[in-house]
């Protein structure tokens, strides 16, 4: 396992990090299975575990808490807040009121007195940067969080938050957690140059592109990944963007074969090769999944392989741009771009 410094924090984290989104009802992973996955991940050298309050309605945090009991000090523990936790309008977002309440809920579910990294799950257009940063700074000073970061922020919002922190003399985001894979490379255009400019640590999620790059999805095979059961539209081969992904996967599979690599090694080696990326978040549902992904921990892709990938999916290109989670609201809501 390789270790890298998380932005400018001085904290050393593993190049693969354990994402716990599949713990609980989302991935049908039981407590015993989750604990076994955490055990194996820590034994392999992973020292960063990432979860969120909304994963399985808090169940993921509870399962992580049970799995790490007695060894908290050996783990860089990260969680997130901001996505809806109920139908109540106030149970979401990044207001001071909600973050103070929800962090206490996360600490209770995790069974800890602090988290190392607290992340705003999505940019909240209804809350000012000053409000959010002020709340996070106070939680940091209270010792409940060590650092805080953003997740899936558009590049211009990353810049704006850095400016707001300086303008109001508040602590700043030290990490960003974007989606990044061979098939979704859009962040190379704006977000990654910005994170490099500001010295942010980058924890990328979905490096296997929701299973597209796991090796399980190939031409002529029935798609039976867990994600396809509740998001079938993202795997319907009659949809043009999915067809483009499948065509790319077939070409990438040949690149992997020629290099003597699995598709997982190719996919994780690709994201790890970008100098802006600190860690790739893997989200195994089973021990077998974990072991297949751990095999990529020390994969270093040659220049020839990286060039071959570039020829299949060009730098900065998203093959499924409609699935982006950092699209400015005005592009999604016509009323926001019309007087």
Residue 259 region, left (φ>0) first, then alpha (ψ -120 to 50), else beta?
A: alpha
DSSP 147-199: EEEEES--HHHHHHHHHHHHHTT-----EEE-B--SSB-GGGTTHHHHHHHHT
pLDDT of 243 over the 90 cut? yes
> Residue 5: enclosing H or E segment and its boundaries?
strand 3-5
pLDDT of 21 over the 70 cut? yes
- CA 54 to CA 337: how far, in whole Å? 31
* Catalytically annotated residues: 55
Q: What are the beta bridge partners of residue 14? A: 3
pLDDT band at 233 (very low <50, low <70, confident <90, very high): confident
> Could you give all domains of the chain from N- to C-terminal order, each with its CATH number?
10-177 (3.20.20.100)
pLDDT digits (tens, 9 = 90+) for 144-159: 999 999 999 999 999 9
pLDDT band at 229 (very low <50, low <70, confident <90, very high): low
pTM reported for the whole predicted model: 0.94
- CA 172 to CA 7: how far, in whole Å? 12
Which tokens go with 14? Answer: 């593993």
């Amino acid at each position: 396992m390789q270790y890298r410094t998380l932005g400018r924090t001085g904290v050393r984290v593993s190049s693969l990090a354990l994402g716990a989104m599949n713990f609980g009802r989302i991935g049908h992973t039981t407590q015993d299975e989750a604990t076994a996955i955490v055990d194996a991940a820590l034994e392999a050298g992973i020292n960063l575990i990432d979860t969120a309050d909304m994963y399985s309605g808090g169940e993921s945090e509870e399962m992580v808490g049970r799995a790490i009991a007695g060894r908290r000090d050996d783990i860089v523990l990260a969680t997130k807040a901001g996505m809806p936790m109920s139908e109540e309008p106030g149970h979401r977002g990044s207001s001071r009121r909600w973050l103070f309440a929800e962090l206490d809920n996360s600490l209770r579910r995790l069974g800890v007195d602090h988290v190392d990294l607290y992340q705003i799950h999505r940019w909240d257009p209804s809350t000012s940067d000053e409000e959010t940063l002020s709340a996070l700074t106070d939680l940091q000073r209270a010792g409940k969080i060590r650092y805080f970061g953003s997740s899936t922020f558009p590049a211009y919002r990353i810049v704006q938050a850095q400016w707001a922190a300086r303008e109001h003399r508040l602590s700043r985001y030290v990490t960003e957690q974007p989606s990044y894979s061979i098939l979704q490379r859009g962040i190379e255009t704006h977000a990654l140059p910005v994170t490099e400019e500001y010295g942010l640590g980058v924890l990328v999620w979905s490096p296997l592109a929701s299973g597209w790059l796991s090796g399980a999805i190939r031409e002529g095979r029935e798609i039976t990944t867990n994600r396809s059961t509740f998001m079938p539209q993202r795997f319907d081969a009659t949809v043009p963007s999915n067809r483009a992904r499948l065509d790319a996967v077939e070409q990438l599979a040949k690149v992997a074969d020629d290099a003597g690599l699995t598709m997982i090694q190719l996919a994780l080696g690709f994201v790890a090769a970008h100098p802006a990326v600190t860690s790739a978040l893997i989200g195994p549902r089973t021990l077998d999944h974990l072991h297949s992904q751990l095999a990529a921990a020390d994969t270093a892709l040659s220049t020839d392989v990286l060039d071959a990938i570039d020829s299949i999916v060009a730098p900065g290109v998203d093959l499924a741009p409609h699935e982006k989670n950092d699209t400015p609201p005005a592009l999604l809501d016509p009323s926001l771009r019309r007087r």
